[in-house]
Each structure stands twice: as C-alpha cells, then as structure tokens.
Amino acid sequence: MPDHPIESQAPQFAGGAADPSDPLGPAELALSASLVRASPELSATLRFISANLTEPERGAEVVAARQALVVVLDLEARAGFEARVDLGAGRVLSIERLPKTVQPGIALEEFVLCEEVVKRDPQWRAALARRGITEFDKAIVDPWSAGAYGDEKFPEARLAQALTWIRGSDDDVGYGRPVEGVIAWVDLITMRVLEVVDDVAYPLPPPTGNYTANSVGPMRADLRPLEIIQAEGPSFRVSSRLVEWQRWRFRVGFTSREGLVLRDIAYYDRGAWRKVLRRASLSEMQVPYGDPTPTHNKKNVFDVGEYGIGRMANALTLGCDCLGAIHYFDADVLTMAGEVETLKNAICMHEEDYGVLWKHTDWRTNHTEVRRSRRLVVSFFATVGNYDYGFFWYFYQNGDIAVEVKLTGCLSVGALPPGVEPTHGVLVAPQLYAPIHQHFFSFRIDPEIDGEGNTVFEVDTERDPEGPGNPYGSSYRHRTTPIRSESEGARDADPARGRTWFVAAPGRRNAVGRPPGYKLMPGADTVRPFAHEGSSLLARAGFIRHSLWVTRYDPREKYAAGDYINQNAKPDGVAAWVKQDRPLEATDLVLWYTLGVHHVPRPEDWPVMPVAYAGFMLRPAGFFDANPAMDVPPPVPMHSCCVS
C-alpha cells in the first residue's frame, strides 16, 4: 500500500484570469481584420478565411502582446495569403503569399454564394429541364471540395463541385431527391460556373425524407418526463476559461479550424496539480466514398482542413444537446467579410451520472460498498452540409479521459432507376441509395505526463510458448516495447493482441517503483482505408494509413494533413514528418490517433441517422498509487434510489 493517504481535500479554487493561450476575443479579431485590410500588400477585395491565435511557443518568455495568424483570399491576385499580426503593437508583422499549388480552406459564405450562382446558371437550368424539373427554387445545391486527382480541367481555378437535390418543403431533410448525374464546377473566386456535367438522367426518387416533429406523424404518447435536477447547482467551478471539477483542471479553447481545444489538463493528487496533457483537439477529418460513379467518385472531403469545422459549430440554444445545470462557452470567429461573429453557446459543459464507479459486496458479512460515477462532459456539435458531428470529451473521477464522436444527420445519397440495385451502396428508400463510405477522425494529443519528457511504449499481450512453463496451454503475458524514433512511430491497433500504448514519464517513479503514465486504449473503430497505394486519397490523407502516429513536438506541425489541404495534391502532414526519424525517448511528444468508422448504410439510417458512436480512452496506468476515486462519497438515497 502507498505510504500516504488518498488526498481528501479538494484544492482551493483560485479562479482564472485570461491566459496567453486563450482564443482571440472579439476586439482582437476586429483589430486583426482592420490591420490586414489596411495592408498595402493586399488589394481591397479580400475574403477572410480564418483568424486564430498564434500559440505561444514552449519555453518562450510570455509577453503581454499576442499574435494572430490571419488567412485571406485576395480576389484581385487570385491567391491566398498568410498575415501575421502583432496585436499588442497593432501592426502587421508579415504577409506571405501561399504557393499556387494550394488553396485556402473554403469559407462558409462561399457555400451560399456558390449555391446562388449555380441556381442562376442557364446550363444548370437546362440540365434540370431535360429531366422535367422546372421549379428551380425548390433545388438545394451543396458545394463539395474539388480535391486533387490530376485530371482537373481547371487546375488554376479555386474550385467546388456543386451537387443538386430537389426539396419538397422545409419539413424534409432536403437530400431525398438527388438530381443524379448533374455536377456544376464553379470557380469560387469569380463565382462563375465553368462547366455543367450532365451524365445520366435518372428520374427523381419518390418524395421522402420528412423529419420534423410536425411532419412524421403522431409522436409516441407513452414517454414520461425524465428530469435532471441539480438543486444546489453543478460541482464544477468556472472562471473565464478555466474549469475545475473533481480534482480536474483545464482550460477551454476554440479555433475556427479545429473547434473545441482543451489545454493544460491536470489532476490534483497528493496536494499538487499533476500535469497530464498540454493540448488536445480534433486535428483533421477525412470522409472517403467508395462509389466509382461520376456523381460520387470525387467525394473525399477534409472537413477540418477544407472547411474549418469550428466555423460550422452549432449554436446550442437551438436544441436539447445538453441536459442538467449547463455552462456554455461562446466562440468568436471572423466572417468572410472580416466581421466578428459570435457563435453563442458553441461549447456545452455539464455533468452526467454514469452508473457504477466502483462496488464490492462482502458475501461473508453481507456488507456492500458502492459509488456512483459522475463524469464531466465538454462538447460541441458541427453541421457539415448533410452530416452532423458531435465531439465529446469526458472527464471521470478516477482519472480517465474519454473521447467520443457522435455521427448523425443525413446521408449523402444518390438516385437509381426503378428496379436497379446499387453496386457500391445500399437502398435506403425506393430508388434512393447511400454509397458505402468511411469517416476518419484524427486527434492531436499533446501529452505532458508529470511535466517531463515522455516515452511511448507499445503494449501487446502474447501467449507463452507451449511447454513445461505453460502446462495447460493457457498462460499469457504482456510485452512492452518502446517506440524509440519516428520511423517506428506509425502503429496500428490490433485487437487480437489487446494492443494499447503507454505514455510514461521515465524520469519519475510511483509507489511500486515504475514510471507513472497513461495508456491510450483504442475503441472498436479501427478500420483502415480501402484505397490502393498510389491513389490520390492516400497521397493527400496519409494519416489514415495507421491508427497511431508518434512524432517529436514541433510547433509548426499542427494538422495531420498539413496546413493547407484544399486542392493540394502533395501536402506534408504527419506521414511526411515521420520521415525525419527524430528520436522519441524521454522527450516532448505528440500522439496523432485516428478513429476509422466504416459505414455500410442501412434503411434505418434514413431520413436522419440515429447517432453512431466512435471513440477512444486515455486511462491512468501507474499514474496514481491506488484508486484515486476511493474518496468519492456514497450516494445518498433519494427519490427512487434503493426503493423496491
């Protein structure tokens, strides 16, 4: 047993003033836009793509002034630019033109403009008219990213491929009647339709897709209220962006590209705050479709790098995403016009009961001790066209951290003639099919276990060889292998070996003389891509090849597919960075963990998909000297608890 008692006193909450790593506020965003607009190196026709904090480098002296990185599209120059702004001095430090081979991400407002220009285009209208569609106002048009396949007719243009559906009313999801075979290629700088591809002319599927409460028929009448009541308020404490809850402390951040960012995650143990993670966020997403038909074969989107998923965050005032005593955080972003927009209630934080935390019944004395688990939930939802994604971070009283993605929304579908079966998808309604596809989510995990240089070990379980040492053929043990350099750092989940990865602080020792650490435990969603080597998909999304990548920390390496992925045929990203083969032992590391969700659609996924779940867990392994949740008090019998 450890020679010290489990800490029973919570730390005193000192509150949290603004931190140098907190997101840019409205005044800073407005100043950034104003300074960039006034720069003589840029024209007067700018589109603002993003503006986010340039995060302080490690070990650098913290100064009062903060810096912003502003990405703009100069319409006159037909090029993207990075502007670095010193907010304290009120001046632009530098402006750099992006290479011709890349495009900045697509701004949310460009979606709206693209839809408007397509719906006015005579080629597009003629293609619809050939199918007997003349009510153009009922059409919805979604611009999809163009990718980089090597066969582009307009390689110099800032492109979007616009697909069309016919919507019956505001009560349907809008995607139930695709106009198969019509693709409008649009130059997003000139906002001009360059070409309308008119391939097959299948009839529209029958009307389907109603989803509102007023349109789907009588609601169930046997569902009684279930209320979450916290009469004394929540157990968390919040000051500015600093949160403390049940021995946990962290800061809540946000960027227009990644969405929710968590920083400086620590756990109070033995009278001190022990560091766990320096930074954690979604880094990139990739959604490849497996259908080779012309309407669908270039659906391979990067929802973070191409669109900026933070910009698409929902305002959570508009639904029941969270229950209980809720604390919301707003998010401030720049619009395409360079105006400050506040996404109200973009991040939700609340507590949840999570069943049994620990329990033991002494069958000899008939005495039972049980503790109920409570977890803290920090989350945001984003809508990317048809799909809706929720990103949830869970903190537990026993030191666990879990990450969960919730996938819902509407499938991206195609049309077929009556009686025809799809070859690369599933019929979800008459004449309506959903192509087979995948979702890859790469999370950037920046560990700081006990604040020292860390080492990652791969932990496999293996059978003992048959023989005298394994008399019944059922012995097995775990084997721990250090990942010494980046050439060894591309790893895959292996359920057959019970594989996990252990992030240790090798310079410290716990009560049993071992290095303290956390282990990364893969979830069930570990599928890998089906694209062939040499495909444009794997050239651009190299990070999806493996479940885990381990790299040495470099402040320039922020996103799994690189800084600029839109129309970029050869980005850098984590698959390129590991070729440096930097040493990884007892140093500053970054873990890039990728979930792989394989979706063979079902009719039950239509018209709105029930939530599918994917995730992974970070669990203490020798970080504590004993169960840190032993001091959680017993539940107080109230209401129906313990009542037969």
Give the pair of three-digit tokens for residue 310: 């933070």
Report d(CA 157, CA 350) in Å as an integer.
45
Q: Beta strands of 121-256 (E only): which ranges?
A: 139-145, 159-166, 178-187, 192-198, 237-239, 242-245, 248-255
Instruction: Judge whether 518 counts as a catalytic residue.
Output: no
3-class DSSP assignment, residue 609: strand
- Does residue 465 sit in helix, strand or coil? coil
DSSP three-state, residue 283: strand
| Rounded-to-integer distance, Cα 1 and Cα 3, Å | 6
Please name the residues in contact with 202: beta carbons below 8 A apart, sequence gap of 6 or more.
180, 181, 415, 416, 417, 431
Strands of the sheet containing 401-409, edge to edge, are: 327-334, 340-362, 367-384, 387-396, 401-409, 609-620, 517-522, 500-504, 455-463, 476-482
563 belongs to the catalytic site: no
Q: Residue 453 is which amino acid? A: G
What stretches of 357-506 show up as alpha helix (H) in DSSP? none
The whole-angstrom separation of Cα 487 and Cα 628 is 36
Angle of CA points 569, 571, 573, to nearest 5°: 150
Provide DSSP, 132-161: T---GGGEEEEEEE----S--S-TTS-EEE
Name the active-site residue from 74, 264, 303, 332.
303
How many other CB atoms sit within 10 Å of the CB of residue 167? 18
| DSSP SS3 for 108 | helix
Neighbour count for residue 54 (Cβ, 10 Å): 17
Distance separating the N- and C-terminal Cα atoms of the chain: 38
Integer angstrom CA distances of residue 584 from 44, 116, 454, 484, 592: 47, 51, 8, 5, 14
What tokens were used for 164?
A: 């069309």
| Paired tokens of 81 | 């630019």
Q: Which of 94, 640, 633, 47 is nearest to 371 (CA)?
A: 633
Given the residues 175, 202, 387, 593, select the one marked as catalytic.
387
HEC assignment per residue over 483-543 = CCEHHHCEECCCHHHCCEEEEECCCCCCCCCCCCEEEEEECCCECCCCCCCCCHHHHHCHH
The catalytic site residues sit at 303, 387
